[in-house]
Amino acid sequence: MPSYPVNQIRTADEQINILQITDLHLSLPPAAINGDASKLTVCQRNFEAVLQQALNTDIRCDLIMVTGDLVSQVKTALYDYIFAVLQATGIPFVCIAGNHDVTEEDNSELPFMQRTLIAQPADPRLLSRHVIDTDHWQLLLLDSSITGKVAGEITPTDIDWLCERLSVCDKPTLIAVHHHVIPVDSAWIDSHKAENTEDFWQHMAAFEQLKVIISGHVHQEQVRYRQGVTVYSTPSTCYQFQPFEDDFAYAQNVRPGYRWLQLANNGKVASWVERLDT
Ligand SMILES: [Fe+2]
Ligand SMILES: [Fe+2]
């Protein structure tokens, strides 16, 4: 069993293959805990199916990164279930919080903008600032969530921590964070991206080794570029949002997804999204 959280990864070929899964949005009933698979919610079933499909391919998976919104109801039993499923893979993994991990929605039957948001403490297993060292890469995980809010923030303290890490290690670097740090051209979700991102980008300009940023939150696949950094967003393992819509809209008939990232020993990255088979 890998210890949690993993701090160091070494591989024989010095390449790191990362499986990113995000926005699991699990809610009760945690049926697998009761041993009754017929009671699995759709999001639970999709989470398990995504993991199974991804790990059944012939890509060696060295690390699973879970980038927030693990749940839609902040219940310890749901985290127990998710961590048990991830532990059972035998693969090192790390989890960071999203807004839904620190916020309970009241009136969830109402339209999104009319719901009441109630602050919740994050599950202690979710990482706030975490470093994973590899032969040729530095991986930095950052908690961008704010309790009781949909939007996130890269705080001045976070920026200081990132700058410190990037100052002491010149390996190519990947940052994983839940909230997007670059707009995706959907007004409603862009109003809930990470705040303070201009300050973040200004500070990051000093570090040429920053190569990749991955996030969740937007429930869609996008690739953007800024300051030599490739910025990926990744589909939810459950439901998707309609890209380029200024008002909230689900993308109907778009399959759950996940992302592979292959970090090569020369600092290059290959990355792509896969969709869950029907
Ligand atoms: Fe989400
Ligand atoms: Fe989110």
Q: How many CA atoms lie within 13 A of 70 on its CB side?
A: 28
Q: What's the CA-to-centroid distance between 257 and ligand 2, angstroms?
A: 15
Q: What's the CA-to-centroid distance between 217 and ligand 1, angstroms?
A: 4
Whether residue 33 is predicted with pLDDT greater than 60 in this model: the reply is no
Average pLDDT, the chain: 94
| Tokens read off for 92 | 């090192």
Residue whose token pair is 């500070």 = 203
49-85 pLDDT tens trace: 999 999 999 999 999 999 999 999 999 999 999 999 9
Q: What percent of the chain has pLDDT over 90?
A: 89
* pLDDT at residue 28, as a whole number: 84
128-145 pLDDT tens trace: 999 999 999 999 999 999
- Band of pLDDT at residue 214, cut at 50, 70 and 90: very high
* pLDDT at residue 37, as a whole number: 57
Q: What's the CA-to-centroid distance between 96 and ligand 2, angstroms?
A: 11
Residue by residue, DSSP assigns 236-269 as: -SS--BPTT-SS--B-TT---EEEEEEE-TTS-E
- Band of pLDDT at residue 113, cut at 50, 70 and 90: confident
86 vs 64, 79, 134, 172, 218, CA distance in Å? Answer: 8, 10, 21, 27, 23
* pLDDT at residue 31, as a whole number: 53
Of all ligands present, the nearest one to the C-alpha of 189 is: 2
* pLDDT at residue 114, as a whole number: 79
Q: 0.85 cut: is pTM over it?
A: yes
The matching CATH number, chosen from 2.60.40.10, 3.40.30.10, 3.90.320.10, 3.60.21.10, for 19-275 is 3.60.21.10
Give the whole-angstrom CA distance, residue 256 versus residue 239. Answer: 6
- Band of pLDDT at residue 32, cut at 50, 70 and 90: low
What is the Cα gyration radius of the chain?
18
Cα 89-222-134 angle, rounded to 5 deg: 45
* pLDDT at residue 106, as a whole number: 81
Q: What is the mean pLDDT of residues 173-201?
A: 98
Of all ligands present, the nearest one to the C-alpha of 236 is: 1
* pLDDT at residue 16, as a whole number: 98
Q: What is the mean pLDDT of residues 141-152?
A: 97
Q: What is the mean pLDDT of residues 22-34?
A: 77
Give the whole-angstrom CA distance, residue 53 versus residue 57. Answer: 7
Q: What's the CA-to-centroid distance between 99 and ligand 1, angstroms?
A: 8
Of all ligands present, the nearest one to the C-alpha of 237 is: 1
